[in-house]
């Protein structure tokens, strides 16, 4: 049963519902889970505050727009790659466009439209059913 944590700035509840539904579909498809496992997939949204918080993943502290932490069993490289591709494609349009600086606007430069989505995969031991992380791997998307 996969656990997903989405670390981001404030997201409206309606958008959280859409993101959660899409992430569950991506999880079922890429991890090859049965349809009835939909209800065993947990998604938690953690709002990033403007001040630095040490308990958040390092990617959030480095300024990622979204960090998606995936904790589960048997997360092969193939499954991770497939999940990362689909999740990044789904989340990228939802990430806020970073505003340009005042001087850049005065000089007629366009704002930085780059968005950063980071995925972190954590493997659970097969004998453990709660989110105790045994192995951690991070990917930037």
CATH number of 50's domain? 3.30.429.10
What confidence tier does 24 reach under pLDDT thresholds 50, 70, 90?
Answer: very high
Domain that holds residue 31: 3-140
Angle between helices 77-91 and 13-30 (to 10 degrees): 150
- What are the tens digits of pLDDT across the range 31-49? 999 888 888 899 999 987 6
Nearest residue to 117 (alpha-carbon basis) of 67, 76, 53? 67
Say whether pLDDT at 132 is over 80: no
**pTM for the model:** 0.69
Q: What is the overall mean pLDDT for the chain?
A: 75
Q: pLDDT, tens digit, for every residue of 105-129?
A: 555 555 444 557 888 888 876 655 5
Higher pLDDT pick, 103 / 123: 123
Whole-angstrom Cα distance, residue 12 to residue 41? Answer: 21
As for how many domains the chain has, the answer is 1
């Amino acid at each position: 049963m996969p656990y997903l944590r989405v670390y981001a700035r404030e997201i409206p509840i309606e958008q959280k519902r859409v993101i959660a539904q899409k992430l569950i579909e991506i999880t079922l498809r890429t991890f090859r889970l049965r349809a009835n496992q939909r209800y065993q997939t947990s998604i938690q949204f953690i709002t990033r505050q403007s001040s630095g918080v040490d308990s958040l993943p390092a990617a959030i502290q480095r300024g990622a727009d979204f960090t998606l932490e995936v904790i589960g069993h048997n997360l092969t490289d193939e499954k991770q790659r497939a999940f990362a591709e689909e999740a990044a494609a789904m989340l990228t349009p939802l990430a806020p466009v970073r505003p340009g600086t005042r001087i850049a606007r005065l000089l007629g430069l366009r704002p930085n439209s780059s968005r950063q989505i980071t995925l972190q995969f954590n493997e659970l031991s097969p004998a453990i059913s709660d989110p105790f992380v045994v192995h951690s791997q991070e990917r930037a998307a």
